[in-house]
Amino acid sequence: MNVFTLGFVAAVLIALAPVLLAALGGALCARVGVFNIGLEGQMLLGCFTAVAVSAKTGSALLGVAAAVGAGVLTALVLAVGTIRFRTDPIVLAIGTNLLAVGLTGFLLRSVLGTSGTYSSPDLAGLTRLGDTWVGDIPVLGDIFHSSSWVVVLSLLLVPALAFFLARHPAGLRLRGIGENPEAARSLGVHVDGYQQTAILVAGALCGLAGAQLALGNVQLFSEQMTAGRGWVAVVAVMLGRGRPGLVLAACVVFGAAEAFGFRLQGLGLPQQATDAAPYVITLIALLLTSIRRPKLAGGNP
């Protein structure tokens, strides 16, 4: 079986896009000194909001906008609680994740009138680039045939965020806060404002990730459909140490594992085994990285 084809590359891009968007938000938070593990819940609420608004209005774009708003509102709870009231960010983020699971399950029944999974032929999904002029471009048309504009945006955000952190004055101040917040505060930098903004931007990216997952990758909502992708995004941030390029590389590993798992289903492997493959590979990568770091610490700085 020839795996590494243009179709496989296309499947990798679709699989990695939601994780990459959430991971970039987590990376932004990490560089400003905030360890954000609330990505899973924000993405899940983005999934539900995108589907609910799209189903009620018939507009995928309104669904995406609403999902971004839902992500920001969820992140606002984390930002206010962590920065203003100095609560434990880990405890608060876990709380918002659990709230998202319960709230989406409740709203699925009360708003969409079903339980488990909601799907409808009238649900407006994101337009696939293969149905536009992009589909006529050789090679690129095959690679992005089943992708939406959100997938392309997620890839473009990687160099944009890298440039922002490396060259833009606000990005440099943000990195300085992450390195030494007290020193930044002594120079007149509004540390709390930068940290709150980073958390809210991460929420917007998680909401967009949820919209892509629910309206781009598939066109439905299922309870807990994020299936740990937000946690994989947290792992990608840790593996990439908050650097956009390395975070992308970690997300590519997850996307390739997920796409390869779908291919293995065609060979008769159990679905449970192929579904677990991306997460197993992610854990192995995290374990190998954690083993290597002490050795690196003992070498040259």
Enumerate the domain spans of the chain: 6-297
pLDDT of the residue at 298: 38
The string over 109-129, giving b where at least 16 C-beta atoms fall within 10 Å of a residue's C-beta and e elsewhere, is eeebeeeeebeeeebbbbebb
pLDDT of the residue at 292: 59
d(CA 67, CA 128): 19
Predicted TM-score (pTM) of the model is 0.91
- What residues form DSSP beta bridges with 222? 117
Asked whether residue 196 carries a pLDDT value surpassing 80, the answer given is yes
Mean pLDDT for 228-241 is 91
- What residues form DSSP beta bridges with 221? 118
Give the pair of three-digit tokens for residue 102. 């319960």
DSSP state for residue 126 in the 8-state scheme: P
d(CA 62, CA 115): 23
- What residues form DSSP beta bridges with 117? 222
H-assigned helices in 2-124: 6-31, 39-57, 60-79, 89-111
pLDDT of the residue at 180: 93
pLDDT of the residue at 139: 86
Q: 185: closest CA among 196, 173, 197?
A: 173
Higher pLDDT, 209 or 142: 209
User: Residue 99: how many CB atoms within 10 A of its CB?
Assistant: 16
Q: Transcribe 237-274 into DSSP letters.
A: HHHHTT-HHHHHHHHHHHHHHHHHHHHHHTTT--HHHH
What's the CATH fold of domain 6-297? Answer: ABC transporter involved in vitamin B12 uptake, BtuC (1.10.3470)
Phi, psi (rounded to 5 degrees) for 221:
-125, 135
Is residue 127 within 8 A of residue 60, CB to CB? The reply is yes
d(CA 154, CA 158): 7
* pLDDT confidence tier of residue 297, bands split at 50, 70 and 90: very low
Q: Transcribe 22-37 into DSSP letters.
A: HHHHHHHHHHTT----
Q: Give the tens place of pLDDT for each residue, 199-218.
A: 999 999 999 999 999 999 99
pLDDT of the residue at 299: 40
pLDDT of the residue at 272: 64
